[in-house]
Structure formats: C-alpha cells, structure tokens
Amino acid sequence: MKPRAGQSHQRLGATRVFLCWAPITARAPFPKRRVGFRTDQASSPAQRTAAALYAALGPRHGRLRLRPKRRPQFRSAKGRRYAFSMSHSDGVVMLAWAQGFNLRLGVDLERSTRKVRPGLARKLPWNGQGLPYGHLTANWTALEAALKADGRGLSGLGKVVATGNPWRLDRLAPGQGTLLLAPLKKAPRGFRATLALGKTRA
C-alpha cells in the first residue's frame, strides 16, 4: 500500500523544521498556490513531484532549483535565508526546510524493510558502539542525513564521527562543528526518516 501525502513540522534544537512528502506521481499531491518564484529544471519523476510539493507547501518568495544528481538549491527573493534538503526512496519524495542564517539541513528517508549491506553498515560512525537508534535502517538514515547536512555527501564518510551523545555527531575539518540528529516523529507509513541540522561558518 502506497503511503499518502502528508506534512508536519518538528523542532531540532531551537530551529523549527518543516516537512512534506508524497508518492512519486504525475499529479500534484496538493493544490498549488501562488509563489513568488517557481521551481525550475525538474526533470525526473521524483523531481517533478518535489517541484509540485514545493509549489504547494514550500516557503513563499523563493525559488527552488532542482538539478540532476546535485544538491537542491534554494534562493530567497526577499533576503530570507532557508536551509533545504530532499530525499526520495522507494517511490516517495520528502522535502525539509528551515528558516535561519548559516544553517545546513539534511533529511533522509528509507523504507523500514530496506536491507543495509554489511559493507555499508561498517561505515556507520557508531560501528562497534552499538546502534543508538535500535535499528540498522534508522542508523543508516541518520548517517545519510548527517552527510547531507555536512555538505560533503558520501565523501564525508569517516569525517562525521560519533560523540558521547547519540543525538550529536562531530564534523572534522573543513566542516567543523556539531550536527544535531533527530528521528522524525511523523513520517510516511512504513518508512523511517531522520533529520540532521548544523551550522556553517559565519
């Protein structure tokens, strides 16, 4: 059974993060509203669904740029600053955004039944220290979200390291600082999702 479209918000530290998700489909999952700037370069089915989600629910007065195999970019038309992240897995797209200066945001979504390969499991920063989120897939979504917030993607493996607090990871230079982690309280049915939030240098 396909998950339904939905939306929620969740605090991570002092930051309020907004989220929405929908099955990948040709139709807009929510009624469109007027926005200041429209999305562009949405080509894949996942990107088209993300564009429709953004047009319906995303921040006003901004433009979301979706590019193949590259990090989505958000530009504000009125000087507002947003951190933005996108994830898609097994036919579902999720968007996350938060308002604030110098923020880096990551979200990752995976079906609960996804099997993580042993070789990938060994790359988890908690390897040998137990699984703080109690489920291998949940721990993998935490790492993926952290790598997105770090900004280096998979090249950041080994440079995002565990701390004594399972809800925090440290970023080794050049991405110095701490990333806050939180499992989503509300997510598509049958999926696990994790948020990560950090700050860039001012």
The pLDDT of residue 10:
96
The pLDDT of residue 171:
86
Q: How far apart are the first and last CA of the chain?
A: 45
Q: Where are the alpha helices (DSSP H) in the chain?
A: 45-57, 118-121, 136-150
Please give the structure tokens belonging to residue 201.
């240098």
The pLDDT of residue 65:
77
The pLDDT of residue 77:
65
The pLDDT of residue 88:
92
Q: List, in order, residues 6 or more apart from 65 with CB less than 8 Å away.
A: 39, 40, 41, 72, 73, 74, 75
pLDDT means over runs of 10, the chain (202 residues): 86 94 75 55 79 83 74 70 89 92 91 80 74 79 91 79 86 81 92 91 56
The pLDDT of residue 74:
76
The pLDDT of residue 55:
82
Cα 47 to Cα 179: distance, rounded to the nearest angstrom: 27
Mapping DSSP to helix (H, G, I), strand (E, B) and coil, where does residue 70 land?
coil
Question: pTM to 2 decimals?
Answer: 0.86
The pLDDT of residue 79:
62
The pLDDT of residue 92:
95
Picking from 108, 153, 152, the residue whose alpha carbon sits closest to that of residue 133 is 108
